[in-house]
Structure 1
Amino acid sequence: MKLSAAEYEIMECVWALGRTVSGMDIMRALGQEKGWKQPTVLTFLSRLVEKGLLETEKRGKLRSYTAAMTREAYKNSETRDFLAQLYGGSIQNMVACMADGGGISPEELEALRAWLKERDPQ
């Protein structure tokens, strides 16, 4: 269910609006900024329907789109896939890689320790 950067931006827009949207809603929110034309936006929306992230309904000549997955559910799914692909599903391996490679600051490491201790006070 990998999304392109443009598809992810559209999903972020749909999630932020928090309602059923039309292609014109997306055009108003992103089209001008991105320089996208209406056919481009409609292609992205169709792809998101095919990937199962949006549901669509036709009302007369207009199509409306609703998020079929929450932002949190998408992030959880992508995070699990990322961990499985790069770290064999091991959070410990990921954190070790980040810490060894300088990707975690001492403050972030301390915050992680505190968070873990809070989750499991034993």
Structure 2
Amino acid sequence: MPTDVVKKAGMSDRNLPALSPAEQALMDRIWKKQPVAASDLLGLVNADRDEPITRNTLQTQLSRLEAKGWIAREGGGRSIQYRALVSEKRGRGRILKELKQRMFGGSALSMMRCLVEDGGFSKNEISELRKLLEEKKGGEK
């Protein structure tokens, strides 16, 4: 599939509609399993839930994602499958920018400080973060 069909269609990140938490969770599954049928998605979603969602609820969420330009359906009849129109990298970046702006006043440092102080990093993750920061530092000369 071509990279970022939505971007080619003229939809910038700024125009890309925000996702609800449920829509975001659904996008996570679509990015991992695409193209994917609604019945398969329903099984994936309900595997992690104490109270399963109905097929109608899933279909409503899929329709909203499609209307927002995040996904497209392919095929017809019983063979409809869903595919992301927004790449995982671009989509997660958009979600992260929103979170950074909403929760941290747009400050990446404040966001990272919160993550670090929360203690949510393993030794391996800290090592990888150091490496990323060094690469970024080296690229800004």
TM-score normalized with structure 1 length: 0.70
Letter of the 2:110 counterpart: N
Aligned to 2:11: none
Structure 2 CA distance, aligned partners of 1:42 and 1:67? 15
Aligned to 1:8: 24
Structure 1 CA distance, aligned partners of 2:114 and 2:53? 39
Structure 2 CA distance, aligned partners of 1:33 and 1:109? 29
Aligned counterparts, 1:1-122, within 5 A: 1-5=18-22, 7-19=23-35, 21-31=36-46, 34=49, 35-57=52-74, 59-60=76-77, 63-99=80-116, 102-104=117-119, 107=123, 112-121=129-138
Letter of the 1:42 counterpart: Q
Letter of the 2:58 counterpart: V
Shift of 1:60: 4.3
User: How many residues align structurally?
Assistant: 118
Deviations 1:36-60 (A, max 9, x none): 2221211111111122211134624
Change in CA separation of 1:60 and 1:98 when aligned onto 2, cut-off 3 Å: closer
Change in CA separation of 1:43 and 1:75 when aligned onto 2, cut-off 3 Å: same
- For the residue of structure 2 that corresponds to 1:16, the secondary structure is helix
> 5+ unaligned residues in a row in structure 2: which ranges?
1-17
Deviations 1:17-50 (A, max 9, x none): 132x332222343346542222121111111112
**Aligned sequence identity (%):** 24
> 5+ unaligned residues in a row in structure 1: which ranges?
none
Greater relative CO (CA pairs within 8 A, separation 6+): 2
Contact 2:70 2:85 (C-alpha < 8 Å) held by counterparts: yes
Contact 2:73 2:82 (C-alpha < 8 Å) held by counterparts: yes
